[in-house]
Amino acid sequence: MTDTPLENMAPIFRAGTSDAEIEAAALKAMQRRKQAVLFWRLVILVGILGAWELAANRLWIDPFFYSSPSGIVMRLYEWITEGTAEGSLWFNLWVTMEEALIGFFAGSIAGVLVGIGLGRNQFLSDIFSVYIKAINSIPRVVLAPIFIMIMGLGLASKVALAFIMVFFVVFANAFQGVREADRNMIANARILGASNWQVTRTVIVPSAMSWIFASLHVSFGFAIIGAIVGEFVGARFGIGQLISIAKGTFDAAGMYAAIILVMLVTLLAEMIMTMIETRLAKWRPQQHTDMQ
């Protein structure tokens, strides 16, 4: 048995160290750690981009297929200043966002409502569960051609695809969240005088909230997938269409540039969602740093 020194262990202070000193030390340690994390993140980013650029430059990889960071930046710049083959970049981005956002909101609202409704009603859920399982086992993207055939090349078909991608994820989590609600807590509410509706509103929904949020985090990404796949299959504008065109002209930089755009947008949405969640979940225990 050897003593392994633990780097993260809280420091041991001399007897008689004041609280203020300990707090200051803790604060400093926290800051140092944050900076270290940020530093390594940047190192990795620069390292990867540098290696990519170098490899493309030296022709270790074929820039025709793999492009290069500078090529991608140039393409983005060109799109921003001169617009794309299909009109302004912002318009195309907006088209995709509009499809994804409408699909996301409609899908998650419907998912939450149906999930809670079926979660609260054993009889209905026994009846419908088999159909939901059946529909859920269809890989959603195969519906894209059908939706486009029925609803045309415009907004509606992409929204429908994004909706269907989002709905099932949110539904499944809302349903599970309702089922996991603490039975004692429900009994407590009922004895305190809550009606069925009050139980749903004050116990079921709040306790399913963390499940629902977990699904919302991934489902914006799914909405984007729905919109873009829809655009691949048939559209006139949108990021998926840009990727499609780039593919047609063997424009690797264009494809990567579109991917990066989508990535940035999804990250932004994720950040907003986390902010809302932190705001709503202020009742949850926070992590304390281990400091004596």
List of residues contacting other proteins (CB under 8 A): 182, 184-185, 187-195, 198, 202-203, 206-207, 209, 283-285
In the complex, least distance from residue 280 CB atom to other proteins, rounded to whole angstroms = 9
d(CA 277, CA 286) in angstroms, rounded, equals: 13
Which CB sits closer to other proteins, 81 or 184?
184
Determine whether 55 is exposed, middle or buried from the number of CB atoms within 10 Å of its CB (0-12, 13-18, 19+): middle
Task: Look up residue 54 and give its two tokens.
Answer: 């170098």
In the complex, least distance from residue 195 CB atom to other proteins, rounded to whole angstroms = 7
Which CB sits closer to other proteins, 70 or 198?
198
In the complex, least distance from residue 281 CB atom to other proteins, rounded to whole angstroms = 8
Which CB sits closer to other proteins, 174 or 262?
174
Which CB sits closer to other proteins, 160 or 204?
204
In the complex, least distance from residue 119 CB atom to other proteins, rounded to whole angstroms = 18
In the complex, least distance from residue 184 CB atom to other proteins, rounded to whole angstroms = 5
CB 99 within 8 A of CB 230: yes
With a CB cutoff of 8 Å and minimum separation 6, the contacts of 271 are none
d(CA 245, CA 234) in angstroms, rounded, equals: 12
In the complex, least distance from residue 214 CB atom to other proteins, rounded to whole angstroms = 16
Which CB sits closer to other proteins, 63 or 206?
206
Which CB sits closer to other proteins, 205 or 259?
205
In this structure, the number of other CB atoms found within 10 A of the CB of residue 50 comes to: 11
